[in-house]
Structure 1
């Protein structure tokens, strides 16, 4: 006599695999729903048949699909394996076929799929089915979904939803093509701009396709709200000006110029926004637009009117004093000026001495990776990252006492300083 296992079959969404159901030892009901990429298996279940409270007895078959989520170009094909285990006390006849639901956005065409395997599975045995999928050359770009069902038994999943096969494996095919539109510039822009001034950034786009591509950049409204001391300021969209052609010819490049011009009264701080380039790549899905978003993060700063003062003490053993300055900047805009400093040393008796700059050092880093990395300023065999500039000033033979270094920065949003007193090794006279 066959055993009847009571379970509850849970299917939350059309795209969620059919649940495996197991009867707890205490006589209650239980169900385990695997993640979408897990193997799919189905066994005996109870269900509600149009309001009838009588339990439904389903054939005990376990279905396990391996690698059933495919990425294929038009004209390509691939094969995956589905294993079906028969837990009944007798052989079970099966009817492998493609099942699609009217609620699937892009259902898989049954003509794409061939299923090779036996039409009967002996008791306690497993059978393997080779599922071959071939995408026609004229297939549109989309994600196609469906199921490989092995019996005609179905179960209701939710009110007002179509029934689903009980013994089935989910599958999907992401049909794609090589993109013809490529953004050659970085799409994550970090820069700085002085209040009342302006900077520009350029985005270069290449069209390798056979037809013109529309280009219509738009400023994006700042999304969401943030509260706290570390939140970005709200961007005034009038600060942003975009200049671009309305299309990119086949085999050509186009440049989008973004100009940031915060007004003189703009608050200091960090601002985050984005720009949608309005591109239409015929080889990308219509709902895939993240690739053409330019994230624009910038800091508004103000040029101080008075210099920064750093006090230091000079002993009688001091031969000279060196002041090292390192400007701190975000990646420079195309029209940004180089940072610089005016440095004045003030002696204990108030004498003002213009500092002599004796050294300027440029530092950078190079990566030999094949791909251009985020933040790289040059591409190719050497991915070069812009480095740091260092300025060194010297004060020779200073008098002992309390000194002040007045530092006036220009074209930088910040800097680090280091004061070094080089002392003589000679012993002081008694």
Structure 2
């Protein structure tokens, strides 16, 4: 009887599980049937809404435009005050409808000076351009005699349908427009033959330098050189090695036409000076062809660090062959554009060795080798115009390419880095050696030790 009760109980439990599974299945089917219609009704409007939203988005961010090809899309002109220049712009209708063209200049904020719209005339003043048709427009730029020197930027719109406001900002190269950049300039009379002063100096000593200026014009030009204010240094930057009071400037009041003048600098380095000095001299040249920052002469002086003790190191000799020591030092073109530096910057070294037995050995000096780099430059240092940093101002025939000054095309030699190599020898011995090198007149050096016969 007990066994039958257990079997009956199992059957009851199994039956209940089957009923429960069927109930869940039926409920799921019922939910699916009742939810099917509402789901379809909700999905369809969402698809339509998305389509409308995408269309609105494109309309908001891409204003209507006409398919117009403009050639060229960019033009750069260099014009003197009182002069004018012409160029041609070709417009082609790539659309399938007739397009009304009414060219006009649009002033943009991306410019140093703002052009007067009356300076630009475009002919013809309007044109109905049929599909596939081309039209040439003649653009004339007249610069008044009293125009400010500098750069001007303007956008030429060839069609009426150009977005209002700053077209060059949100819509660069918008269809039917072209960019026009104008450089208003006059030829400078003064050539600055010394663009900077850079030297390695010693504490407690005096130095003189010459800044050469040449007047190529037909009128005398006044100058009034002065040191600019000290550079303001922020936290973490090194302080100046000395103040501006260590530099004295002497110069004539004017440079006569066709002559060369000298601005003399005298530097008295304080005995306690360490580090470096950076500053500039404003030549205050009364020459309209030279911009304010172009008349600045950069000054850079580095105090030669003098170590208190020699550099020491060891090396191991595996044979008793002769020892050859080669020391190399580089000198980085100090005084490149100056003629008044007062000291010899040739590096020298005091070298000694201690052999494995502890005996001091003085190496025998063998020879000195020099190597250097030389550049052939024009006879006049090109005056750097402020727009020379832009790549599109470096075309053939531009002032950036010619330096904005006339030269006689006579070359001169300009030296760069000079390398000094000094060679020493000493009798060899197996074991550990001590090397001592005390440098003078150099900021750096490297050395090579050869054990045995050295190659020539």
TM range (shorter): 0.5 to 0.7
- 1:282 counterpart (281, 284, 288): 288
Q: Give the whole-Å Cα distance in 2 for the aligned partners of 1:315 and 1:152.
A: 88
Question: 1:265 — aligned with what?
Answer: 272
Question: 2:422 — aligned with what?
Answer: 391
Considering fraction of residues, name the structure with more helix: 2
Q: Give the whole-Å Cα distance in 2 for the aligned partners of 1:144 and 1:259.
A: 41
Report SS of the residue matched to 2:331.
coil
Structure 1 position 132 matched with structure 2 position 164: no
Report SS of the residue matched to 1:366.
strand
Structure 1 position 251 matched with structure 2 position 253: no
322 and 282 in structure 1: CA distance in 2 versus 1, 3 angstrom threshold: same
Report SS of the residue matched to 1:387.
strand
Alignment gaps of 5+ in structure 1: 1-22, 33-41, 45-59, 159-165, 425-430
Task: Give the root-mean-square deviation of aligned CA atoms.
Answer: 4.2
Question: 1:325 — aligned with what?
Answer: 327
Partners of 1:235 and 1:273 within 8 A in 2: no
Q: Give the whole-Å Cα distance in 1 for the aligned partners of 2:53 and 2:261.
A: 65
Partners of 2:158 and 2:177 within 8 A in 1: yes
Question: 2:205 — aligned with what?
Answer: 197
Q: CA offsets per residue over residues 131-161 of structure 1, 9 Å max, x none? A: 1234466755333455556678997639xxx
Question: 1:345 — aligned with what?
Answer: 353
Q: Give the whole-Å Cα distance in 1 for the aligned partners of 2:153 and 2:327.
A: 60
Structure 1 position 310 matched with structure 2 position 313: yes
390 and 24 in structure 1: CA distance in 2 versus 1, 3 angstrom threshold: farther
Q: Give the whole-Å Cα distance in 2 for the aligned partners of 1:204 and 1:31.
A: 57
Partners of 2:122 and 2:137 within 8 A in 1: no
**Number of positions where the alignment pairs a residue of Structure 1 with one of Structure 2:** 356
Q: Give the whole-Å Cα distance in 1 for the aligned partners of 2:433 and 2:99.
A: 97
Structure 1 position 179 matched with structure 2 position 185: no
TM-score (norm 1): 0.66
Partners of 2:68 and 2:92 within 8 A in 1: yes
Q: Give the whole-Å Cα distance in 1 for the aligned partners of 2:87 and 2:190.
A: 31
89 and 401 in structure 1: CA distance in 2 versus 1, 3 angstrom threshold: closer
Q: Give the whole-Å Cα distance in 1 for the aligned partners of 2:451 and 2:109.
A: 80
Question: 2:399 — aligned with what?
Answer: none
Report SS of the residue matched to 1:26.
helix
Q: Give the whole-Å Cα distance in 1 for the aligned partners of 2:125 and 2:94.
A: 14
Q: Give the whole-Å Cα distance in 2 for the aligned partners of 1:84 and 1:24.
A: 34
328 and 372 in structure 1: CA distance in 2 versus 1, 3 angstrom threshold: farther
Alignment gaps of 5+ in structure 2: 1-51, 167-174, 336-340, 383-409
27 and 243 in structure 1: CA distance in 2 versus 1, 3 angstrom threshold: same
Report SS of the residue matched to 1:225.
coil
Q: CA offsets per residue over residues 151-198 of structure 1, 9 Å max, x none? A: 78997639xxxxxxx9865534212122222221243x5432233334
Report SS of the residue matched to 2:55.
coil
More RCO (CA 8 Å, sep 6+): 2
Shift of 1:417: 1.9
242 and 250 in structure 1: CA distance in 2 versus 1, 3 angstrom threshold: farther
TM-score (norm 2): 0.63
Shift of 1:201: 4.0
Within 5 A, what are the aligned runs for 1:72-151?
72-74=79-81, 75-81=83-89, 83=91, 85=93, 92=100, 95-96=102-103, 105-108=113-116, 110=118, 113-116=121-124, 119-122=127-130, 125-135=133-143, 141-146=149-154, 148=156
Q: Give the whole-Å Cα distance in 1 for the aligned partners of 2:94 and 2:433.
A: 90
Q: Give the whole-Å Cα distance in 2 for the aligned partners of 1:254 and 1:370.
A: 19
Q: CA offsets per residue over residues 339-390 of structure 1, 9 Å max, x none? A: 222223334455444433220111112345768899xxxx925444342111
Partners of 2:223 and 2:283 within 8 A in 1: no
The answer to which of 191-200 and 101-110 deviates more is 101-110
